[in-house]
Chain A
């Protein structure tokens, strides 16, 4: 238990500080390279610098995160996308309502994010470790098959249909790379992802250097994994 708490403090501090500072940098993008996600920036703006809104928004997702952690040990992406940025911003906004001096400042966000990260991660991991064994047996018995089905066939189908809907050249490239990936890797998704990127680029910009580089990377990836599949099978 002590070990879990110590490790949680370390990873919580690392992820919390970095995610919050990355979120602050988003307000300076695209001039400054940032990290986060579009939904994070939208939601941070939606709270309009009101600390109570930021806290309640984050709290709503803390319930999701707790359920996910108890069910199978995944803290959920809500932690770094929503809870940490919003609570880190909320703490800063309690003292100063000016978002440009608080939420947009990566240094201040780094400090408050570190604090929030430690608290949230320690809480989630300790909650998960005190739940009864039988509960997690049921959870994994139910969630295990659902996750397997998601990995195949649901996920390949969704990506494939999205590629086909996106136009002829995207559909064709994604189908080719997807099926090759299904043959060599055992799952079509990695191939579909790369095929969509290649096809969509061809559609809009024609054959350029980037398409060429991506095609070579895809070919190497497929050849590499195909080789390993053959070796492991033999």
Chain B
């Protein structure tokens, strides 16, 4: 059965609409980073990334974080055109949302992170450029880089998540006795009922850490 596609659907499946969609996404994600920087909440990334950003802000050293994000961005940019799916967690959330703003801050260029309108424009322009680059790469360099390198990193990246729980528990033990015991109880309960240990540890340490 031949289904009829609407005009807008066809337009949005074209090659040239990809950079536009990526521009919208990057503008929003960069705006989220601005919100974390100014209002303390809103980055489109995991707890760990947001916490690293806040730590880097208080330490005044954004260089490591910026290059860490840039590495992710480059890796995902190489992988995206090869497999046809750009991983927005690595490329946009970590690369564009965490890495590039950190690089801007590392070089003392604070305007794109401090000003909301500039943040949106900056994110949008960068997103459009990246999207266009991906389409060009998709059309030109079909073979060359193998996807297995990206798979290795994907595996390592997924393994990272399982380390966070134990790290949070140890950190809670250093913070205070209450937080440590809370993290212990939360982690055990969450583990028992097949929920992520990290969530239990954080929840438990926050509740008991607040009381004691």
> CB within 8 Å of B: which residues of A?
3-4, 7-8, 10-19, 21-22, 24-26, 28-38, 41, 64, 67-69, 71-77, 79-81, 100-101, 105-108, 110, 117, 121, 124-125, 128-129, 134-135, 138-151, 154-155, 158-159, 162-163, 166, 170, 181, 185-187, 189-191, 193-194, 196-201, 203-205, 208-210, 214, 217, 221, 225, 228-229, 232
Residue of A at shortest CB range from B82? A30
**Chain B neighbourhood of A205, CB < 8 A:** 143-144, 146
**Chain B neighbourhood of A209, CB < 8 A:** 144
Per-residue contact bits, chain B 136-152, to A (CB 8 Å; 1 contact, 0 not) = 00100101111011101
A8 to B34 alpha-carbon distance, docked (Å): 11
Chain B interface extent, by class: 35 or more
A210 touches B202 (CB 8 A): no
Q: Which of A128, A193, A200, A232 contacts B41 (CB 8 A)?
A: A128
Residue of B at shortest CB range from A191? B71
B35 touches A11 (CB 8 A): yes
A19 touches B202 (CB 8 A): no
**Chain B neighbourhood of A41, CB < 8 A:** 85
Known: A18-B28, A35-B91, A145-B175. 8 other contacts (CB 8 A): A7-B34, A11-B29, A37-B88, A64-B199, A74-B45, A107-B9, A144-B171, A217-B74
Given A75-B43, A142-B179, do A186 and B64 touch, yes or no (CB 8 Å)?
A: yes
B121 contacts the other chain (Cβ, under 8 Å)?
Answer: no
B206 touches A135 (CB 8 A): yes
Residue of B at shortest CB range from A138? B209
Given A14-B27, A107-B8, A159-B153, do A75 and B167 touch, yes or no (CB 8 Å)?
A: no
A199 to B80 alpha-carbon distance, docked (Å): 18
Interface members, chain B 5-48 (any A CB < 8 Å)? 6, 8-9, 11-13, 15, 18, 21-22, 24-25, 27-29, 31-32, 34-36, 39-48
**Chain B neighbourhood of A64, CB < 8 A:** 196, 199
A141 to B171 alpha-carbon distance, docked (Å): 8
- The distance from the CB of B69 to the nearest CB of chain A, in whole angstroms, is 9
**Chain A neighbourhood of B163, CB < 8 A:** 150, 154, 158
Q: Is the interface of A mostly helix, strand, loop or mixed?
A: helix
- The distance from the CB of B141 to the nearest CB of chain A, in whole angstroms, is 7
Residue of A at shortest CB range from B72? A193
Q: Which of B63, B148, B156, B170 contacts A228 (CB 8 A)?
A: B63
Q: Which of A76, A189, A190, A208 contacts B46 (CB 8 A)?
A: A76
10 CB < 8 A contacts A-B? A11-B120, A18-B22, A25-B12, A75-B41, A80-B44, A142-B175, A143-B51, A144-B54, A162-B159, A221-B70
Of A18, A30, A158, chain B has the most CB atoms within 10 Å of the CB of: A18
B68 contacts the other chain (Cβ, under 8 Å)?
Answer: yes
B171 touches A146 (CB 8 A): yes
B49 contacts the other chain (Cβ, under 8 Å)?
Answer: yes
Given A73-B42, A197-B145, do A31 and B84 touch, yes or no (CB 8 Å)?
A: yes
B146 touches A158 (CB 8 A): no
Residue of B at shortest CB range from A152? B64
Residue of B at shortest CB range from A218? B74
B116 contacts the other chain (Cβ, under 8 Å)?
Answer: yes
**Chain B neighbourhood of A187, CB < 8 A:** 64, 67-68
